[in-house]
Structures are given as structure tokens and as C-alpha cells.
Structure 1
Amino acid sequence: MINFNGNIVEQEDNILTQNRAFLYGDGVFETLKIVNNKILFLEDHYFRLMASMRVVRMEIPMNFTMEFLEEQVLSLVQQNGISASARARITVFRNDGGLYLPKTNEVSYLIHSISLDNTVYTLNTAEYEVDLYKDFYVTKQLLSSIKTTNKLINVTGSIFAHENGLANCLLINDTKNVVEGLQGNLFMVVGKKLITPPISEGCLNGVMRRQILALAKKVEGIEVLEEIISPFDLQKADELFLTNVITGIQPITKYRKKEFTNNLAHLLLQKLNESISEN
């Protein structure tokens, strides 16, 4: 028997007591965007998920092929009656048993999906103010670059942003450099340079980050760099924007007293939509 919200119930009635993702954050996940029954950037998502499972020493099932997971996701989206655009999340967690030391490295997975409004990426140019979140730091290690079910920094940072009337916050690492936003990778435009922090700084190895870097390298006159960004650099920027698979590109309009343009963000979003329509 267990106590759940003041009620004594059978332990078998509450699967959370055996779920290692709930108990220890022992899980990894991928968030996907599906448009017209097609998973965008499927290969990138698949290989990042496999790499994440290897990093945390999960046993990859033989049937976990890219085609298998694609079929599982699309089948669910169809069952949920979503025809145009959807957001889906695959969570993979180690099977129950053990305490910190698991009894097995075998895994289970959970997929859920919801509908989205837009089939193409659009640029939100409404006011989007950010500030630094300094209560906790991102560590410069491999675990920071993968999507695990331990996201307490992002949760507490989101609460801080909400309490202070901010659209988002920027995270800093243990050497006080700017790493990323709460929900996406950070890009900074200074003159003709497009700069994003390197993965070694502790930022997420984002799927959309990879797309934007590839597209920007094809823009004439733009130098693309992966370099450390300090908080002082933000005040010198012409543009700041965040990227993730669901939103695409989100321009930052204000950081403290500095306001920013969105010219390159607009151009890159156009190229992003063009690249998707061609594939």
C-alpha cells in the first residue's frame, strides 16, 4: 500500500512508484514536429536519441530502427485525428527495478502528441524580452548536451521568467558564459557575424541549431562562428534569437535596456521553410 495525495491505495494502481524517469530522472526524450504526416528532420532526431541512450548506458532494442519509431509516431498522430501539424514527444526510460543502480538497462518508451496551428514556420515579432537566469548554472559536460528528463533548471527558470514578466530567460554555465535559452539554442548577430555557443559550453545539441548553422553558411556575406558568448557580448549584438524544432526561430526583441532587430532571423526563417518544402 502507498499514500497518494492522502489516500491509501494499492501500489499497483500507481505506476509512478516504479517509473525510473519519475523517481530518478532516468530517461531521455525527443520533441518532434510533424507536418502533413511527415516528421521534420527525422534522421537528426533519431540519431540524437540513439546517441543519448548510449550516453546514459541504456540498452537499445533491436527493433528501435528509424522506420519503426517513425511508424509508431505517425500512427499515434493519425489515431489522434491530427491531419495537418502536430507536436509529438518520445520519452525513453529505463525499466523499473533497483535504486540508483538499476537492475536492468532495458527500456520502455512513451509517445504522446498534440495538434499545432501552423504547418509552416512563422516569425513572431511581438515583444519578447529576456534576462539572465542566475539562480542555477548549466554544467559544461556531455549530459548537458542531450535531452534528459531532468529539466529542473528549465522549470525553475520558467517560473522566474513568469514571475518577472519575461518571455524567456538565458541560461549561463559554471564559468558564467551564456549558453542557451530555456526552450532553445541561442544565436547572436554582430555585424556580419552569426555566433552561437559551442556544444562544449554545455548547450543542447539542438536539431534546429544544426539546421540554422547549415542554412546560415550558405548566406553570402555572413560569417558563421561557434564561439563563447559572455553576458557583456549581448549588449553589443544587433540581433539575438532562439531556435527549436517547434517554434523554428524566435527573435529576442529586448535584453535589459538593449533592443534588437530581426533581419537575419527573417531571412533564415524564409530559407528554413524553403528547405522543408523542397524535401
Structure 2
Amino acid sequence: MINFNGKLVAETNVISLENRGYKYGDAIFETLKVVHGKIFFWEDHYFRLMASMRIMRMEIPMDFTMEFLEAEVLKTINTNGLAKSSARVRINVDRGEGGKYRPISKTISYTMVAEALPSSFYELSTAKPYLVDLYKDFYVAPGLLSTLKTNNKAINVLGSIYAEENDFDNCLLLNTNKNVVEALNGNIFLVKGEHIKTPPLEDGCLKGIMRKQIIEVIANSGDYMVEEASISPFELQKADELFITNVIVGIQPILTYRKKEFSTSLTADILKRLNTKLRLAQL
């Protein structure tokens, strides 16, 4: 069952062919991790959603409060029998139906879809080589729109097909300035000694929720230094460690890039600190 504008309905015949998210990508979304009825980083997700709606010039309904949307998420979880397990929830917000490029209505529509996840807290996945390369067929445009989670994800789709065709586990995206901005499904961090870099939002990377959490964990560690700065492709092979972040997997270490193999010791330490932060937040 999915949540369609507050009503729990079957997954078929919900979105019409006239839906603006379907026709024009006129939609934004949030991907949540919910564990035993607790939404990880809910406040950050909510405020990013509100900010994204404003940037997209969507009219925010009066009832779109943090409490209302949280209740709708939990209602969706409960209906699908996931209240006592780990789940992924996607909130999709669009402008409903009507119009061509210019919408003719200010009506906002939303859906929530839930699916089970295998684990509650974050684990370091090093069981198999995690191989990445650059995707250079198309480039991300630096700027505010690229930082949003919109339904315009053509580069990510094409990059994912390219990765599958070439037996890569992931690919790294470049912006039009030829700097590394992110992975296909998350933000990128580069480790050199005790110095950690991640691209700035101005380069066009996603304003990731896990990105924010990792920056805070590193900044509060007292052991490492974090910097938001552009990353050149030439820096990748000189790095000690590389890792990708998103709210579903937490941290995914990159183990191989163009025959260069990376360690994971600092990555593992950051992940441990992240899980400690989450456990303390649930007390």
C-alpha cells in the first residue's frame, strides 16, 4: 500500500499520464531511513524538503508541518507491516496535473512508498571489491538546482547503465568545470592522511543529509580535519581512502579506482562514530 495525499491505496492506477512529475520531472523527493518507527535525521529531511519546495516555487500547503508529514510517514510504515523493522520511505512531491511547462494550478500532490531494508544501523561493506570509475559522457551543471533531489535524474540513470555495462559498482560524476562532484547515488569524500575533503555545494553536488551528518561527525571528532573544496580527478589516485555517503547505506567505501586500491581504517572509524551518534539520539 502507498500513501497518496493521505489516503492508503493500492500501488496501481495512482499517478495519471497528466501528472507533472511524470510528464516534466516537475517533482522533488526525499529518501528516508526509518528504524522501529524512528525516522533518521527527520528534522534535516523536513527542512531540506521545505527549502527545495521554495526553490522550485511550489506553494507549501498549510498542513505540511513536520508533525503532519512524520505522522503520514509512520502511517505508511505501519500499514505495510514495517513498524518494528527497518524501512526505506520515499516521499515524492509534485504539482499535480495540468499545464504544459507552465503549471496552471498551485495544487500540491504527494506520495509515500515504503519498502523493507535488511539492517537497522550502518555497516561497513567490504565483502567484495567496490570498483568505481568516472562517468564522462555528460556533466553536472554547478548551481543551486543541482543540489536538489528532483525527478530530473537523467545523468544518474545514464551513468548507472554505463556502470552496469562496464562492471563498475558505481561511477563518479563531474561538473562542467571537470571537478568530481558526487557519486551516482551519494556524496563523495576523499581522505588524505587526517585531512578529509568533500566537494562544496557550489560545485553542484547534492545537498545530502548524510553528507551533513558526516561533516559534523568529522568536525566534532577532534582527530580529523574536514574541508569543503573542489576535488580534481587527479586527486583520486593520490588519496588514501575514498567513500560515498547516503542515508540508506550510511558510508560505502570505494575499494578500487583505476587499479588503485584504498584502505578503509579511517572510514571505519567515522562509521563507528556515526552509529554511536545515532544510538545516543535514540536514548
- Tell me the TM-score normalised to structure 1 length: 0.94
Equivalent position of 1:10 in the other structure: none
Residue 89 (str. 1) matches residue 102 (str. 2)? no
Equivalent position of 1:76 in the other structure: 76
Secondary structure in 1 matching 2:221: coil
Equivalent position of 2:181 in the other structure: 179
CA contact (8 A) 1:60 1:106 kept: no
Secondary structure in 2 matching 1:17: coil
Residue 54 (str. 1) matches residue 58 (str. 2)? no
**Matching residue within 213, 216, 220 for 2:215:** 213
Residue identity opposite 1:278 in structure 2: L
Which piece of structure 1 moves more, 214-223 or 80-89? 214-223
CA contact (8 A) 1:97 1:104 kept: yes
- Tell me the TM-score normalised to structure 2 length: 0.93
User: How far apart are residue 263 of structure 1 and its match?
Assistant: 1.1
1:224-264 CA distance string (max 9 Å, x none): 10011000010110000000000000000011021101111
- Pairing 1:8-87 to 2, within 5 Å after superposition: 15-82=15-82, 83-87=84-88
Residue identity opposite 1:156 in structure 2: L
Equivalent position of 1:101 in the other structure: 102
- Quote the Cα distance in structure 1 between the aligned partners of 2:206 and 2:60: 22
User: How far apart are residue 14 of structure 1 and its match?
Assistant: 8.5
Unaligned segments of structure 1, at least 5 residues: 1-12
- Quote the Cα distance in structure 2 between the aligned partners of 1:219 and 1:30: 28
Which piece of structure 1 moves more, 64-73 or 15-24? 15-24
Equivalent position of 1:130 in the other structure: 132
1:30-76 CA distance string (max 9 Å, x none): 00000110100000000000000000100000000001010001111
Equivalent position of 1:147 in the other structure: 149
Residue identity opposite 1:46 in structure 2: Y
Q: Give the 4+ runs in structure 1 shifted more than 4 A.
A: none
Residue identity opposite 1:191 in structure 2: G
Equivalent position of 2:118 in the other structure: 117
User: How far apart are residue 105 of structure 1 and its match?
Assistant: 2.5
Secondary structure in 2 matching 1:159: helix
Which piece of structure 1 moves more, 206-215 or 95-104? 95-104
Equivalent position of 2:204 in the other structure: 202
- Quote the Cα distance in structure 2 between the aligned partners of 1:243 and 1:159: 20
**Matching residue within 243, 248, 251 for 1:249:** 251
1:80-136 CA distance string (max 9 Å, x none): 001210000000000211100110232100000001110110000121000000011
User: How far apart are residue 15 of structure 1 and its match?
Assistant: 4.4
Residue identity opposite 2:122 in structure 1: Y
RMSD: 1.0
User: How far apart are residue 199 of structure 1 and its match?
Assistant: 0.4
- Quote the Cα distance in structure 2 between the aligned partners of 1:111 and 1:76: 7
Q: Percent identity?
A: 55
- Quote the Cα distance in structure 2 between the aligned partners of 1:245 and 1:166: 21
Residue identity opposite 2:104 in structure 1: K
Unaligned segments of structure 2, at least 5 residues: 1-12
Secondary structure in 2 matching 1:183: coil
- Quote the Cα distance in structure 2 between the aligned partners of 1:95 and 1:251: 39
- Quote the Cα distance in structure 2 between the aligned partners of 1:180 and 1:245: 14
Aligned length: 267
CA contact (8 A) 1:187 1:242 kept: yes
Residue identity opposite 2:75 in structure 1: S
User: How far apart are residue 219 of structure 1 and its match?
Assistant: 2.1
Residue identity opposite 1:132 in structure 2: L
1:147-195 CA distance string (max 9 Å, x none): 0011111011000000000000000000100000000000000111000
